[in-house]
Amino acid sequence: MRSLDEYLHDAEQAHGHLCAGQVLGVRLAMLGLQKLGIDDPRAKDRKRLVTFVEIDRCATDAVAVVTGCRLGKRALKFRDWGKVAATFVDVSTGKALRIAAKESSKALARQMHPEIEDKNQQQMLSYREISDDDLFALQWVKVDLPPEEFPGYKGERVVCEACGEGINFRREVQRDGKVLCRACAGEQYYTRI
């Protein structure tokens, strides 16, 4: 595994700026990989890892940089729970670790560096210095990963009987004897105008 500073450099490039969320995300991902014994996620261990992220904020970009897991490779899964947390699944062993940033970390940053007024600067420095134990809560978990969730899954593509659009990865819904996409089954996030 590379150093915190090397990952932060890459994270800054990918994210567009360096911020407290990057420091938090890089450390969170480094800890996850270390606990799972995955030291080369971008090369040798490339196919071993699936990562679930629970927020679409700065830290998530950093997690993607360190793990090499990307949405477009199906190795990064987004669960929109609004929490600074991620679960790292070693698909070669089934072992999975969920790591969440502790809510107390912000207060701790204020205590450690009251002399720094800018919140982001204060947290950026503190999040480098705070111990893993004070920064994160860890839990070993079990994640059910059906075949269609795996990055390399090759499945049949079906067509929605209502809108005619193709659907991959078993995301279709059976409704009244019809095969429908999730939008036509009522899960639309948009309305037609």
Residues that bind Zn ion (CB under 5 A): 19, 21, 58, 160, 162-163, 181, 184
CB of 97 to Zn ion, least distance (A): 24
- Smaller CB distance to Zn ion: residue 137 or 163? 163
Closest CA to 80 of 53, 116, 48: 53
- Smaller CB distance to Zn ion: residue 63 or 181? 181
CB of 151 to Zn ion, least distance (A): 25
Closest CA to 141 of 75, 52, 31, 68: 52
CB of 120 to Zn ion, least distance (A): 9
Angle at the Cα of 75 from the Cα atoms of 100 and 19, rounded to 5 degrees: 45
- Smaller CB distance to Zn ion: residue 133 or 191? 191
CB of 96 to Zn ion, least distance (A): 27
For 139, list phi and psi in degrees, rounded to 5: -145, 135
Measured CA to CA, the distance from residue 41 to residue 128 in angstroms comes to 22
